[in-house]
Structure 1
Amino acid sequence: MKFRTSVGLLFAAIIVIFSLQNAEVIDVKFFFWKLSISRVLVILGSFGVGLLVGILLSIKKKIMNKTQI
């Protein structure tokens, strides 16, 4: 297994463990919306969005490098 994959899996496991230990219900306010939601969902959702953005930027960079060559 590649080093990056191992580090990524370890980081994801740490995020999941941290999330499960913070399972209280919290109020999330965003502009005029107010939601009562589990903190686990907020943490995992933020992690998922960050992961998705990172993957999309990585793909964009690879595509830009291929078009320049």
Structure 2
Amino acid sequence: MRFKTIMAILFAAVIIVFSLQNAEVTDVDFLFWKVSMSRVLIILGSFGIGVLVGILVSLKRKIT
């Protein structure tokens, strides 16, 4: 396996373990919205958005 793949899998595992240990409900305030949700969803959602942005940026570099 390539080094980047191993590091990505290791990093994803650390994020999952970290988020599962922080399962309390917390308030999220964003502009006019106030939502109570689990920290697991916040952490994993933020991680997912970051991965998506990274993929989109790398696709743009491959196209041009």
Please report the TM-score for the alignment, with normalisation by the length of structure 2: 0.98
Please report the TM-score for the alignment, with normalisation by the length of structure 1: 0.91
Q: How big is each residue's C-alpha offset from its partner over 1:31-64, in whole Å with a ceiling of 9 and x where there is no partner?
A: 1111000000000000000000000000000101
Cα offset, 1:3, TM superposition: 0.8
| Structure 1 spans left out of the alignment, 5+ residues | 65-69
Q: Is 1:54 matched up with 2:54?
A: yes
Task: State the alpha-carbon separation in 1 of the partners of residues 62 and 39 from structure 2.
Answer: 35
Q: Is 1:23 matched up with 2:23?
A: yes
Residue in 2 aligned with 1:67?
none
Larger radius of gyration: 1
State, as a whole percentage, how many aligned pairs show the same letter.
67
Count of residues in correspondence between the two structures:
64
Cα offset, 1:23, TM superposition: 0.4
Query: What amino acid maps onto 2:12 in structure 1?
Result: A
